[in-house]
With several copies, the nearest count.
Chain A
Amino acid sequence: MTTTTTTATQTYREAMRAAIREAMQRDPRVFLMGEDVGRYGGCFAVSKGLLEEFGPERIRDTPLSESAFVGAGIGAAIAGMRPIVEIMTVNFSLLALDQILNNAATLLHMSGGQVPVPLVIRMTTGAGRQLAAQHSHSLEGWYAHVPGLKVLAPGTVDDARWMLAGALADPDPVLLFEHAALYNMEGDPGESPTQPDPWSAVLRRRGEAASVITYGGSLPKCLAAADALEARGVAVDVLDLRSLRPLDDAALLATARRTRRVVVVDEGWRSGSLAAEISARITEQAFYDLDAPVLRVCSAEVPMPYAKHLEEAALPHPDTIVAAVDQVMRDG
């Protein structure tokens, strides 16, 4: 299976492709289904070449019917297959939300434990490419609100390469969010997983001054901010959540209690963001250990504008993250 061994550095896109290929080679129950995953090669070229290798039955192009093919993934999973359903972007997943929330997330419970749904749904998320108000949402925090679903957000090439296997091994529905801005990021995922299972958070940087908690597309921005702070002699923790549901409470509290100052960075709109949940959890459980209120760096509350300067102003950036860290260190 030389096709699946990874040679030194590759892109996030290539890593995700290698993960899908490996899963399909290892388990005949696995198939990929979605719009243009086959002949077109995938709208972000993730599945490019897989049609030739696995054929149209297992690399299954679908009509533009998000509700039907996501629901079909649920049914196929119930019947014992291991579908990977690709939704081009999270914006379009709204058309399949009834199936995801009313079926995938509830069937196990409604049936008293009889109907697990071992389905993996992959979709891109996030802004930054001037795609405006209908193609730039970050709704992974929304999905993380729903009991019955699990939500992963690979933010490194390593996780792009190795998280999928964990998602497919899980007996319940797992949503995998790939930030479109990460596809060209390069890294070396190595020959085997180096990280713990997908469900635990990982400390990507270690420092004592403050904790920066983030995930997915915001991780590189936070690492850049950490570098900038480092250059000024300020060392911070950068905690990569990786799993948005379940959240790794232990890791959240550990970093918060150690540095006593926390900044949460999340590309979602600020009000009702996942960052709010993290802030609330830390405050509930570590209030007396904090020297300052948990701060949030999120997107401006605006449907994403097209113009580059406006879009950039709406999103978190290393400098706004640095500013928030300076702020949280001044506080208290």
Chain B
Amino acid sequence: MTAALTADLVRARYREMLRIRRFEERCVELYSATKIRGFLHLYIGEEAVAVGVMSTLADGDAVVATYREHGHALARGVPADSIMAEMFGKVAGCSRGRGGSMHLFDVGRRFYGGNAIVGGGLPVAVGLALADRMRGEPNVTACFFGEGAVAEGEFRECMNLAALWRLPVLFCCENNLYAMGTALARSEAETDLALKATGYGMAAWSVDGMDVVAVEDAARRAVESIRGGGGPVFLECRTYRFRAHSMYDPELYREKSEVEAWKQRDPLLVLANREEAAGVLDDATVAAIEAAVADEIDTAVAFAEEAAFEPLEELTRFVYSEDGR
């Protein structure tokens, strides 16, 4: 498969990861400028996971993510301006300003959020897959969650239910080693996450989550197997969060040196250093990509700035459906 990674694809993946990186860097500035509020969880360092997995999904497939989902939304094709507008709390936002950073939605792209309860998105993903299965649709539901979620009962119930009913779910575990300040070894008695899947009779494998090509290959195998009726797959992506858990995290729980070591494996560098990238990502190309990305983000920020706030009279809309009573 790696052979299939043409120069175009190398550029495309690099660009996609850079979009996420620069988008979030801008979010940090906008947070300091109090344009963005609430919790802001950055995906910086983990871009290869969302980009690698999303590139294997079809339009009909569904996605469920967590509160750390800017990258997933961007990689799934949710327009940057509607995401930025959402974080500005504007009506033009992808959730009309009701959700904010933690609750990005885009049903047209089957992007079902944006769930801020750890493990809370998994049952929903199982249900989306159940519906596809009952209707004989060939879709796969990709569900992203952190390794911290593995300790939640909801995770374990869902792994069993999906395996028992052989539902088309890709359980994509983003193992960035920490749940806020809790290292995996202080959260799980057995830290080999893929091993857990065997307790549910589910196929499982681990992949280097800093290498977008490796993630894409692993995800493609998983998605093909799932689509072929092979039942759910648990995919552990070994990655790392370069930034704090959120904007309010003093990072007392890890050494700067550890962070630095992982930064040596920055997914942008890892891709640039792969042989397929040789000569493809020259300075001019990268500069051009940077420029295009900067453009897109500037446009998104301008769009968000100019967008309107929802009128106060609309406060209680969307509590119940308008076609309901």
Contacts and interface: CB of A to CB of B under 8 A. Distances in A.
Given A65-B157, A78-B128, A132-B38, 5 more contacts: A68-B158, A71-B127, A111-B113, A172-B320, A306-B86
25 contacts: A40-B181, A64-B118, A64-B149, A64-B152, A65-B158, A71-B123, A71-B126, A74-B124, A79-B127, A102-B117, A103-B123, A110-B98, A110-B105, A111-B113, A131-B38, A131-B102, A131-B116, A133-B98, A134-B102, A134-B103, A135-B116, A170-B325, A306-B89, A309-B312, A314-B315
A71 B113 CA distance: 14
Interface stretch (A7-15, A113-121, A216-224, A277-285): A113-121
Interface string A292-315: 000000001111011111100110
Classify chain B: how many residues form its interface, as a range: 35 or more
B130 interface: yes
A109 B98 contact: yes
A108 interface: yes
Nearest to A198: B325
A195 to B, nearest CB: 15
A35 interface: yes
Interface in A72-86: 72-81, 83
Contacts of A41: 181, 250, 252
A40 B180 contact: yes
A148 interface: yes
Contacts of B102: 131-132, 134-135
A67 B123 contact: yes
Contact of A107 (B113, B160, B250, B315): B113
Interface of A: 31, 35-36, 38-41, 43, 57, 61-81, 83, 91-92, 95, 98-99, 102-103, 107-116, 129-135, 147-148, 150, 170-172, 197, 199, 300-303, 305-310, 313-314
Contacts of B149: 64
B157 A310 contact: no
B96 interface: yes
Which residue of A36, A199, A303 has the most chain B CB atoms within 10 A of its CB atom?
A36
A189 to B, nearest CB: 22
Which residue of B160, B181, B317, B322 has the most chain A CB atoms within 10 A of its CB atom?
B181
B10 to A, nearest CB: 34
Contacts of B188: 63
Contacts, number: 275
A74 B99 CA distance: 19
Q: Is the interface of B mostly helix, strand, loop or mixed?
A: loop
A75 B38 contact: no
Interface string B249-281: 110110000000000000000000000000000
A112 B102 CA distance: 13
Contact of B116 (A39, A62, A132): A132
Interface of B: 37-39, 62, 86, 89-90, 93-100, 102-103, 105-107, 112-120, 122-132, 134-135, 148-149, 151-154, 157-158, 160-161, 164, 179-183, 186-188, 249-250, 252-253, 309-310, 312, 314-325
Which residue of B98, B124, B158, B164 has the most chain A CB atoms within 10 A of its CB atom?
B98
A178 B93 CA distance: 32
A305 B99 CA distance: 6
A78 B124 contact: yes
Contacts of B161: 62-63, 65, 68-69, 72
A232 B110 CA distance: 55
A72 B123 contact: yes
B103 A302 contact: no
Contacts of B325: 170, 197, 199
Contact of A36 (B37, B131, B182): B182
